[in-house]
Structure formats: C-alpha cells, structure tokens
Amino acid sequence: MKTHFENRSLRNIAGNALAGIFVLCVFAFTIAGQAPPNPVPAQENIPTGAYIIPMDNFHQGNNAQTTFNLRAYGLANLLLQNNIPVKWAIKPGKAKDDTDFTASFTRVQGTAGNASGTNIAFSGGPFVIMPEFAPVVDTLIGLFPTVTVYRTTAPQLIDIRYTVTHKPKVAIGPDGGNFGTNVHQSILDSAGITNYKLVTDDIINSSSCFSIATQAHSTDPTFVDLYRQFVVSGGNLLLQCASVETFENHMSGHFQTTNPGYSLFGTNAPANAVDTTLIYPEGAMPFNQFIGILANQDGRVTEYAYAPGGGAANGNRISVRNSGADSDKFVATVSGANGPSSAGGSVFELGGHDYARNNTVFPVATALSMINGRRMYLNSLFVPVTRPQACGIEQANVLGYKSVRRIVNLDGGALGAGDTVRWTIDYINNSPVDVPNFQIRDVIQANLTLVPASNVVTFVSAGSSASRNPAYDGVGNDATSDLLAGGALLKVNGRIQVVVDMVVNVGTPNFTVLRNQTVASGATLVSSANSDNVDATNIDIAGPGSTPPSDSVPQPQNPASIDPTIFTIAGPTAASVSIEGSVRDSNGNGIFNALVTATNAANGVATSVRTNSFGQYLIEDLQAGDLYVVRVQHKRYRFPNATVTFTLNDNVTGLAFIGNLPEAKGGREEVLSPVKRKK
C-alpha cells in the first residue's frame, strides 16, 4: 500500500416443592468468526413480503455503481436495537463480488436501483428481515429515508450466514498521539450508528458490556491483557493501522500470530509499504462483504507479514493481501480466539490509517475504494458475539416453560406400569413481537403410549390463539407429533398451555427413567425453544396461585442444562432401592465416565457405576434403611463436595455433583441434595 506521513448458584433445586417448572432462554444459533461454515447450512425459505436491505453499489448506490450508502448499516443496526433479528445473506464459497441470491421484489423506500424486478441478483452481503416484523419495520425504515429497501414478491431459498440478534455496542479506544482522532467515530456517525462510546483502555475486560472494541491508532500497550480477557470472554476486537503493531506483537497479544508476531510495513515502519493489486482469497468472508476494490491507503502500518520464525494462530484467515512478489504481505486478516464453534472472540486487523480522509491526497484511490475500507469496519459490527446476559446485548426471545404433573391410578401407590402421566407444557412470549405459526412438537419416548385425543389446549392469554391437532399421535419427528393445529398465534406477553397424557407400558422394567421434552417453533423465533430446566422463581406459571399439585414430581435438573422432564418407575420392594443422578460441570454439561460409588456404611459393600455421555448415572439394588456414603471421582475434574452421606430409606433421584477443571476460576462447585421419592 502507498505510504504517506500521517497528520493525525447453580440453584439447589432438589426437594423444592415448586421445582416442577422449567425455563429456557433461547438465543440465536450462530456460526462463529469468519471461517466458512462446515457443514454448509441448508438454505432458508424466505417468504413473500420479506424485507431486503441491498448492500451492492447499484441497489444501494447509483446507476454508475461508483458509491454506496453507508446508512444501510445504520438501518440494520436500528432494527437490531429494536429487537428485530436481521439475517445476513452470504453465499458460501462465492468469489469476491459474486451473487448471494436472486429475488423478485418491489421497492418500498429509497431511489437507488430498480423500482421492481424479477429474479434480480443481489450481492455484497444483503440483509434480510422476515415479514412477521412488518409493523415495527415499516416505522423504523422511515427513520433512514435515503436507504433503499425492498420487499420480496415471491418466496426464495436464500443462504443465510448469520441470523444476527445481538445489539451492536461499540467501544472506541483512545488515540495515540492524536493520530487516530475521530477515525472510527466518523465512520459510525456517517452510517447513523450512535450506540458507541469513547472509552479509556482500562474499562475493557471480560465483563465489559460492549459487543466490539475498536482501536484506530493505539500506541499504548499497557492494557493489552485486558483486551485479551474481553476477546476470550466472547467480545470481538478490531485493530487498525498502528494498533496492529501495539496489540498483535505484544506478549499478551498474539491474537493472530505465534511469537514474534508480524513484520510491519508502512510509513515509519521498519520497511516501506508496497503498492500492488490486492487479492481477496475468501469472497464469502463476512469482513469482505463490499463490492469492488479496497483502497491502497497510507498509514504507519499499511500491511504486515508473518515475522521470521512466526506463523498463524487461532485459525487466522487472510481477508486481503498483496499480489506477486509481495503476496505474503497482508492488508486485512481475521482470527477466532475461541475456536470455530464459538460466537465471539473474532479479532479483525486492518492496515491503512483513515479510509475517510480527503481523497484528493491519494489520486489512485477512488471514492468507492475508500468507502469500502469503511465498510470493512462496519461489517465487523454484525459478526456474532457472546456477552454477559446482564449486558442486555442479546435480544429477548420466547421463553418456554414446562410444569411436570402426574396422574396415578386409584391405588395411590408409586408410579408404575399401567399408570398414567400427564405432561403440562407452557410457553410464554416475553419477546417484543408476536409469534405467528407457533407450534409445539412432542415426540413420545420409549415405554410410553399416548392416551388418544389427550392433547388439549387448556389455556391461552393476551389474544393468543391455539387449538389441538386432532392428528397428533406422537410417532416420528414429523407433523403428526405437533400438539397444535396449524396457524396458532403466540402474542406478545401471551401464554399457550397444553396437556398430554401417556400410559406407562406394561412390562416396563423397574427403575426405568421416562423422559419427555417438547420443542417449540414459530415464524419469528430465531431458534427452536425446548421446554427445559427448573425455574423455581416462576411459581405462578399456570396462573395466580397455580403451583403444581402435591403429586407433581420435582425435577433434578441443572438450570444451565438441556435436559428432558423425567419420571422414574419405582422399585418392587422396600428392600431394593436406587440412587439416580448426574455429574456435571459448572456450565451444566454432563461429565462422561465419572466414577460414582455408593458404600453401605454398615457392611462396607461398595457399588460403583460410570456416568454415560450425558453425565447420568443409576446405582441399583441398594439396601433400604441403611446409611450410605456416595462419592464421585474423575481423573480430570475436581469435586470439593465429592462425598455425601445419608440414610437411604427410599429411591433417590437427582443426586447431582458439580465440578470444575482445576484451572477453572470463578465457577461454582457444589453438590445438589437428592430428591427423595416414595417407593
């Protein structure tokens, strides 16, 4: 690039009488970082009436395709700030500037592009918004009247790279020597994005409530380690120009490289910049979603290469590089500090100082190529992140609840073969938009038989509507396992409750665990919603005072886990009882192959089992009425409360041990008390 001198507790849920209530907070499923998705996800069926914010230079620029309206990013940001999911359409494996999808449309706002069209190509990473959000979207787009917006006139299969649900919030780092003054702020201002803050470096850390931190020209390495904490915790980071040297080559940096880091080129760098045709190795990379070339900008760091003895780290990928003999010199790169399967932890690095400076100083740089440098910065804002829930950066979504109840035969005995169980399922819409085409799927698990026509809608509220599916049989993961008839509507603040009864099959072995879990879907849900997890705080889930009845079964579940509702078939005699539970880490993940041992304190007889891949275990044929010492062990995990002692009078479910890897810090480690059940 050309060189010019710069002028600037886990809760204790066992035994809780209210523990028959479940909650799952649903967040968007995302593909992390910039690596190509593997496997490539199926195309999404985008219906008629969906909105398109075009991101190419014709539909969002002018007929000559020599400019681009940066306020298109501002509109996408405004939608996200108002809890509207935005789908980012990028065709996997495409070459730079290739088509992302074709669509038939009519223009609803703006003057760029065509007023309407059929099977017209869109490129540059367009944004798509589902039609169910129309009432809100119609109001918000009017706040960006110069932005061209289309609506589809026919359904279309489209490749969606991300369904973006986080609310961008940008931390702009301090300038070094006043050379970076206003570089990034001016980009955000021109795009109409106001949700940023000029910060001092010391406030960035693992708990900082920003989606991305950006450094235009940092020369102070004092807080590089804090920025690393921010990245590892799931925040994204963009380093530009001098910041590449300050952060990447610092001993606490190396976000993209192994030691010694990058060799640097540019004004005042150890070596002069180069000026060759730029190459874009990955056209489908989100960082590269702009049409045309990137300007050869000046700056203290204009390009960089792996230093002798160094190399790539954290899956570093090349976004833009030079060509010919200088093809080893990069202009833009992206790495993923937390691996390819995690949202957040992306580190973007970009050479060149300021892509908004007076273009007449650099006669080889066209206005569009300068705009494209600013587009790369704006693209980084929409790459998914992971931030603390308390930050409010993630959008609110539908919450799914299931209260667990049972119907037992008239003998009043423990649940056994031939008895009937009733599953009560509640979903509540705590999101800001209605959920049309709401559906609850319930596939009947082993050892259970449906009571015909027992799927009944028992409650709806706030204008919601739903009716039972008369074809429900619970067999197979298909439409016959949908509890509701088509066309159900879950309104904002509304609730839909359904019950379904199942008989325990005759011949079901004693101590069999009966499982059930439902999955909800809907037009505006960004992901499916499992009915899951105990939430003892929602005691009125089924209406004021409607706590589960006394014969409901408390569920021994970790609030961070994905577990089904369970019942356990009672044993045949008072002399033979069992202990069932789970071994998990502090994030709710099951620990495989943990050794759980129950030792009879009276005679020293020990019975040991190993946990399965879900962290579950079952110790059977224990002596009722005896004192038992139960201990958990694992070669990798540590359990400060690894032993629990109690008199085993009845079958026990829900004895859960929680442990952490030795290096984990701040995690909660505890043992959850068992849930005793009548024989």
Same domain, 413 and 431: yes
The count of structural domains within the chain is 4
Whether residues 203 and 307 fall in one domain? yes
Bridge partners (DSSP) listed for residue 88: 127, 162
Give the residue-averaged pLDDT of 476-489: 95
Least confident of 15-29, 592-606, 624-638: 15-29
Domain identity same for 450 and 549: yes
Paired sense of beta strands 606-610 and 565-568, if any: unpaired
Out of 531, 557, 583, a domain closes at 557
Using alpha carbons only, give the angle 550, 556, 560 rounded to the nearest 5 degrees.
Answer: 130
Residue 164 lies in a domain: no
Sign, Cα dihedral of 455, 461, 467, 472: negative
Mean pLDDT of 237-261: 95
Q: What is the pLDDT of residue 434?
A: 76
Q: What is the pTM of this model?
A: 0.62
> What are the tens digits of pLDDT across the range 256-288?
999 999 999 998 777 888 889 999 999 999 999
Among 245-254, 276-285, 396-405, 498-507, where is mean pLDDT lowest? 396-405
CA-closest candidate to residue 236, choices 162, 331, 158, 320: 162
Least trusted range by pLDDT, from 197-201, 431-435, 561-565: 561-565
Q: What is the arithmetic mean of pLDDT over 633-659?
A: 89
For the chain, give the mean pLDDT. 82
- The CATH number of the domain where 234 resides is what? 3.40.50.880
My answer on whether 115 and 22 are in the same domain is no
Query: Is residue 165 a part of any domain in this protein?
Result: no
Higher local confidence (pLDDT), 310 or 419: 310
Phi, psi of 480 (to 5 degrees): -75, -5
**Whether residue 384 is found in the same domain as residue 262:** yes
**Residue 521: CATH number of its domain:** 2.60.40.1230
- CATH number where 593 lies: 2.60.40.10
Most confident by average pLDDT, 237-241, 491-495, 502-506: 237-241
Q: Are residues 135 and 185 in the same domain?
A: no
Shared-domain flag, residues 456 and 600: no
- Last residue of one domain, picked from the residues 362, 390, 418: 390
Q: Which residue spans within 367-487 are E strands per DSSP?
A: 399-407, 420-428, 435-442, 448-450, 456-460
Query: What is the C-alpha R_g of the chain?
Result: 29
Task: Please identify, among 364, 390, 416, the residue that sits at the C-terminal boundary of a domain.
Answer: 390
Same domain, 382 and 485: no
For residue 34, being part of any structural domain is answered with no
563 within a domain of the structure (yes/no): no
Q: Domain for residue 6, yes or no?
A: no
188 φ, ψ (degrees, to nearest 5):
-65, -40
Enter the tokens of residue 569.
């078939």
Would you say residue 207 lies in a domain?
yes
356 is written with which tokens?
Answer: 């908004």
pLDDT of residue 466: 97
Residues 280 and 370 in one domain: yes
Instruction: Give residue-wise pLDDT tens across range 35-71.
Output: 787 788 889 989 999 999 999 999 999 999 999 999 9
* Residue 411 banded pLDDT, cuts 50, 70, 90: very low
Cβ atoms within 10 Å, residue 548: 21
- Do 409 and 425 share a domain, yes or no? yes
Task: Please determine, for residue 200, whether its predicted confidence score (pLDDT) is greater than 80.
Answer: yes
State the average pLDDT over residues 444-458.
93
Q: Are residues 496 and 598 in the same domain?
A: no
Residue 241: band (very low, low, confident or very high) from pLDDT cuts 50, 70, 90: very high
**Residues 65 and 151 reside in one and the same domain:** yes
Does 12 score more than 50 pLDDT? no
- Is 2 part of any domain? no
Q: Is residue 581 part of a domain?
A: yes
- Domain with 656, as residue range(s), is 571-679
**Which residue's entry shows tokens 């899956």?**
315
